[in-house]
Amino acid sequence: MRHDIYEGVLFYIMKGIKPNYAELGRQYNCDPRTVKKYYEAGKENEIKRLKKR
């Protein structure tokens, strides 16, 4: 689990803003789909489920 990505999208979750996944992907050097996965999981409080994968 990448805590840096989760902490990055946590700001957007708390503010209720939809992030630009491509921009965050470039910032954290990962795929935009990974950023989206953490954003969706954070909105639904499913972070523990992602840890088990």
- In terms of pLDDT, which residue wins out, 40 or 51? 40
pLDDT score of 45: 76
Q: How many domains does the chain have?
A: 1
- Contacts for 19 with CB less than 8 Å, ≥ 6 apart: 9, 12, 35, 39
Range of the domain at 43: 3-51
pLDDT score of 49: 59
Question: Tokens 């939809």 label which residue?
Answer: 18
Q: What is the pLDDT of residues 12-45, one digit of tens each?
A: 999 989 999 999 999 999 999 999 999 998 888 7
Q: What is the pLDDT of residues 2-14, one digit of tens each?
A: 889 989 999 999 9
pLDDT score of 46: 63
How far apart CA 8 and CA 6 sit, in angstroms, is 5
SS3 content of the chain, % helix, strand, coil (to 5): 70, 0, 30
CA atoms within 13 A on the CB side of 35: 20
Residue 1 has pLDDT above 90, yes or no: no
